[in-house]
Structure 1
Amino acid sequence: MPHDSDHPYSHLPSDPALRVKALESVLVSKGLIDPEAVDALIDLYENEIGPRNGARVVARAWTDPAFKARLMEDATSAIAELGFQGRQSEHMVAVENTPETHNLVVCTLCSCYPWAVLGIPPGWYKSDAYRARAVREPRAVLEDFGVSLLPGQSVRVWDSTAEVRYLVIPMRPEGTEQLSEDALADLVSRNAMIGTGLAATAERTT
């Protein structure tokens, strides 16, 4: 998977992220913010608040049928059982990939995103290209991300909003029956939980 800056859904140079960076530079130069504190906050969201948190939710669902049942019925409460809540993750719905259906999440209006379980949204998620094409031609979008669907597998697109946000539960890779929950979490990427990726095979992580 290419870096966000190289991805076909990356923002153009007018991307709001560039304006944010410019504003950050001004604030740093005036001594109003500490760049180390900013870096620490970004690292917190990228590596601790998510998407590792979401991967733990998926791994628990793969290994604990009772938890999975609660997750599919009331994702917000089930996710809170693991200590993940707030930060735009108050109204969660889990959708499960199956051999018959692949799920893809998009926010067509802005960039609603469950920070508590997926961390900072990638730049391409907020791009106009992704937001438009994910609804209009989701199979082409998945091809751009290198996702190969199973024969006969349909695609269902979920529009994230301020009222509800989605977490895709990818299919568990074959041959992972003996892996621990932590090892299973290592197979789950941020993109797999958005639907623009698949869970990795155990071989790919070794």
Structure 2
Amino acid sequence: MPHDHPDDAHPHSLLPSDPALRVKALESLLVEKGLVDPAALDAIIETYEHKIGPQNGAAVVARAWREPKFRTALFTDATAAVSEMGFYGRQGEHIVALENTDRQHNLVVCTLCSCYPWPLLGIPPGWYKSDAYRARAVREPRKVLAEFGLELARDVALKTWDSTAEIRYLVIPQQPAGTQGWSAEALAALVTRDAMIGTAIVPSPA
């Protein structure tokens, strides 16, 4: 479940075996019929490849680690705080930041569909949208995390948050030991998409 490899495809997946070819064929047909502007498509692709993705969320996390004032603002009104950094728009209207601590770990799921903070994390991975993750993240979250390779200590509380069309969550992982004083760019490079969903932590650098 936690891997984005073809061999691990979920049995309920509706994706065709050759999605890239089908998408290209559909795109060509829509362009040929004048229903889609190729320039608009190029702009959308450019946006999702270079402007929207986990690097945005990682920048938010890194800033929260470095700047106490921003951290306070983030946990007070995350939507306003991330908007100040230029991260806003569709699927990012109502953001709530969740803080991982020594005593609590947060895990995000959308049990009804796949609500997800696109401006901060990009398009959700296949496993996030799968029936298995959506059901089991609520029913047996510790087992789910173990399948991602994350074993929480028994004294760490685990809370699962259910995203909705009204609220989307961003997990702020704990800053790893040994990174105090690092630059924002170096810190952001450590932060993964999965850590901001809650299925991973940010390990201390070697």
Q: Shorter-chain TM-score: which interval?
A: 0.7 to 0.9
Q: What corresponds to 2:150 in structure 1?
A: 147
Query: What TM-score do you get using the length of structure 2 for normalisation?
Result: 0.87
- In structure 2, relative to structure 1, the CA distance for the partners of 1:7 and 1:114 (3 Å cut) is farther
Structure 2 residue runs without a partner (length 5+): none
Q: What corresponds to 1:5 in structure 2?
A: 5
Matched, 1:17 2:20: no
Secondary structure of 1:70 counterpart: helix
Secondary structure of 1:84 counterpart: coil
Over aligned residue pairs, what C-alpha RMSD do you find? 2.6
One-letter code of the match for 1:24?
Answer: V
Structure 1 residue runs without a partner (length 5+): none
Secondary structure of 1:4 counterpart: coil
- State how far apart, in whole Å, the 1-side matches of 2:99 and 2:188 are: 16
Secondary structure of 1:49 counterpart: coil
One-letter code of the match for 1:11?
Answer: H
Count of paired positions:
201
Do the aligned residues in 1 keep the contact of 2:142 with 2:151 (CA within 8 Å)?
Answer: no
Do the aligned residues in 2 keep the contact of 1:47 with 1:119 (CA within 8 Å)?
Answer: no
Matched, 1:26 2:25: yes
Using the TM superposition, name which of 141-150 and 99-108 deviates more: 141-150
Structure 1 residue 200: Cα displacement: 3.5
Do the aligned residues in 2 keep the contact of 1:133 with 1:141 (CA within 8 Å)?
Answer: yes
Matched, 1:170 2:168: no
- State how far apart, in whole Å, the 2-side matches of 1:37 and 1:85 are: 20
Do the aligned residues in 1 keep the contact of 2:107 with 2:159 (CA within 8 Å)?
Answer: yes
Q: Deviations over 1:155-186 (max 9, x none)?
A: 00000000100000000000001310110001
Secondary structure of 1:158 counterpart: strand
Q: Deviations over 1:55-98 (max 9, x none)?
A: 00000000000100010010000011111001201100000000
Do the aligned residues in 2 keep the contact of 1:91 with 1:165 (CA within 8 Å)?
Answer: yes
Do the aligned residues in 2 keep the contact of 1:85 with 1:116 (CA within 8 Å)?
Answer: yes
Query: What TM-score do you get using the length of structure 1 for normalisation?
Result: 0.87
- In structure 2, relative to structure 1, the CA distance for the partners of 1:155 and 1:184 (3 Å cut) is same
Q: What corresponds to 2:56 in structure 1?
A: 53
Q: Deviations over 1:117-160 (max 9, x none)?
A: 00110000000000000000000000000112134101000000
Structure 1 residue 18: Cα displacement: 2.7
- In structure 2, relative to structure 1, the CA distance for the partners of 1:199 and 1:48 (3 Å cut) is farther
